[in-house]
DNA sequence: GTCTATATGCTGATAGAC
DNA sequence: GTCTATCAGCATATAGAC
């Protein structure tokens, strides 16, 4: 049984999109922070500049002091968010421990019901659905970074196979299975408000574990 | 190894949302069919009535002959689409075969790269993201039917456990794990255009199979 | 730094012609 | 059955006041 550890907490920080820490001016960060929340509830087209401004406590026109357009806000958010998963995998890869342990910590971070982790999945969803209605630039960036987590995960799988903890098989296919599952759990969590016995990290690891 | 069978093909028909077969008048069906496609690309707010009309080869105003509003179109689509997964599970449950066999056929139908199956996942995605921007009635209906596939799947799991093919454990948790995974693969497929070794039914079944 | 006012364009929905 | 014309409302982005 894997328990929430110091490693997992550090990992979650890497996972999260990092709007807070970024080097923005005050108004800029304030607007970004609220824009993330509104966009993830209403989508790109459904979000009106007025919604973001009101949420952040500014007037509608003030938003244009910091951002050129609605597309601009969205694209900057997409750029920050789409780096999260890859960052988390790279962070996990360089922790000390066996490969399967590190994969376990990573999985806990991904599946955390923490609100910032959930926000990540909401944003990923946004970037995957209604793709003809989101800015091209945002799409480009998110597509560009899409392979990052998978590529960084493959060495971990190979290590795990060499250590005898991970099943044999094409590492790329195993990585895709892993991320499909993790993403699916993230999505499932978003779809319901009821407290249900969602798959734990241990269950997800059954996909990879030898003698699962 | 499970191969595409007569069972799987029948199953896919149950899975698919059934806009074609439904008892609509000609213009009505024509519009619905195109509306599904446009909505799934542009989302609810991003889709303009003109887009649907043009796609179906009608004038903008003509759409209102059959549909009261944009919400009306979307809600009717949501109603048809949100029944698909439950229908497929119920169909699978009453096939002849061991539980794990029937689950295998079902999984093949869910993971089929068939365009109508993909459309199902695109619509599910639409109903799960930007939820503050889709009609309340559509949300209500889709939420109402959300539990159907899981409820219908649980007896299959229990059967499989009794037959010794499925791992022990809370059947609800196993069902949630299964649907998370299936959904995750559907989503992963939508996210990329490249031909990648996406998890097959056999890989998904590792989550459930005893001595996987 | 922050707000108000406004121009400009688009969209949903209706009415009515053919 | 199908289209054209049109209205009323709203949203983005800008200009300029304080």
Q: Which of A77, A97, A128 is the last residue of a domain?
A: A77
Same domain, A47 and A111: no
CB contact under 8 A, B42 and A173: no
Distance between B6 CA and the closest CA of chain A, angstroms: 26
Mean of the pLDDT values across residues A170-194? 96
Same domain, A115 and A62: no
Model pLDDT, residue A56: 97
CATH code of the domain in which A65 resides: 1.10.10.60
Instruction: Report the domain count for chain B.
Output: 1
Same domain, A31 and A8: no
Model pLDDT, residue A2: 47
Side-chain half-sphere CA neighbours of B158 within 13 A: 8
Q: Which of A45, A62, A77 is the last residue of a domain?
A: A77
Burial zone of B123 (CB within 10 Å; 0-12 exposed, 13-18 middle, 19+ buried): buried
Report yes or no: A129 at the B interface, CB cutoff 8 Å. Answer: yes
What is chain B's mean pLDDT, rounded? 93
Same domain, A105 and A132: yes
Asked if residue B210 belongs to a domain, the reply is no
The pLDDT tens digits of the residues spanning A133-165 come to 999 999 999 999 999 999 999 999 999 999 999
Model pLDDT, residue A16: 81
Residues of A with CB below 8 A from B44's CB? 43, 46
Q: Of chain B residues 79-138, which have a beta carbon within 7 Å of strand C? A: none
Report yes or no: A182 at the B interface, CB cutoff 8 Å. Answer: yes
The lowest-confidence range among A21-25, A162-166, A179-183 is A21-25
Strand C positions closer than 7 A to protein CB: 1-6, 10-16
Q: Of chain B residues 158-197, which have a beta carbon within 7 Å of strand C? A: none
Cβ–Cβ under 8 Å, residues A142 and A186: no
Asked if residue B77 belongs to a domain, the reply is yes
Give residues with Cβ within 8 angstroms of B41, minimum separation 6.
A130, A131, A132, A133
Per-residue tokens: A23: 């080097």
Same domain, A138 and A187: yes
Same domain, A105 and A4: yes
Same domain, A63 and A159: no
Asked if residue B63 belongs to a domain, the reply is yes
Model pLDDT, residue B212: 61
CATH code of the domain in which B23 resides: 1.10.357.10
Q: Of chain A residues 127-146, which have a beta carbon within 7 Å of strand D? A: none
Model pLDDT, residue B11: 87
Same domain, A33 and A10: no
The residue range of the domain holding A47 is 18-77
Side-chain half-sphere CA neighbours of A138 within 13 A: 24
Asked if residue B36 belongs to a domain, the reply is yes
Asked if residue B94 belongs to a domain, the reply is yes
Asked if residue B211 belongs to a domain, the reply is no
Of B131, B181, B187, the CB nearest to A41: B131
Does the structure show a pLDDT above 90 at B38?
yes
CB contact under 8 A, A176 and B197: yes
Same domain, A97 and A64: no
How would residue B9 be classed by pLDDT, with cut points 50, 70 and 90?
confident
How would residue A39 be classed by pLDDT, with cut points 50, 70 and 90?
very high
């Amino acid at each position: 049984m894997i328990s929430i550890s110091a490693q997992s907490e550090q990992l979650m920080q890497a996972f999260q999109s990092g709007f807070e820490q970024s080097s923005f001016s005050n108004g800029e960060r304030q607007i970004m922070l609220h824009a993330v929340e509104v966009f993830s509830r209403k989508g790109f087209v459904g979000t009106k500049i007025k919604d973001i401004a009101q949420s952040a406590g500014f007037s509608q026109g003030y938003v244009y002091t910091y951002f050129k357009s609605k597309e601009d806000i969205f694209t900057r958010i997409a750029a920050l968010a789409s780096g999260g998963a890859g960052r988390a995998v790279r962070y996990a890869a360089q922790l000390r421990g066996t490969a399967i342990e590190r994969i376990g910590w990573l999985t806990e971070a991904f599946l955390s019901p923490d609100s910032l982790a959930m926000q990540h999945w909401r944003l990923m969803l946004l970037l995957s659905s209604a793709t003809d209605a989101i800015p091209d630039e945002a799409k480009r960036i998110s597509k560009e970074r899409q392979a990052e987590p998978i590529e960084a995960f493959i060495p971990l799988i190979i290590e795990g196979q060499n250590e005898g903890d991970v099943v044999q098989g094409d590492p790329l296919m195993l990585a895709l299975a892993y991320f499909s599952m993790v993403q699916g759990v993230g999505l499932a969590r978003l779809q319901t408000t009821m407290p249900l016995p969602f798959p734990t990290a241990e269950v997800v690891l059954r996909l990879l574990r030898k003698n699962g």
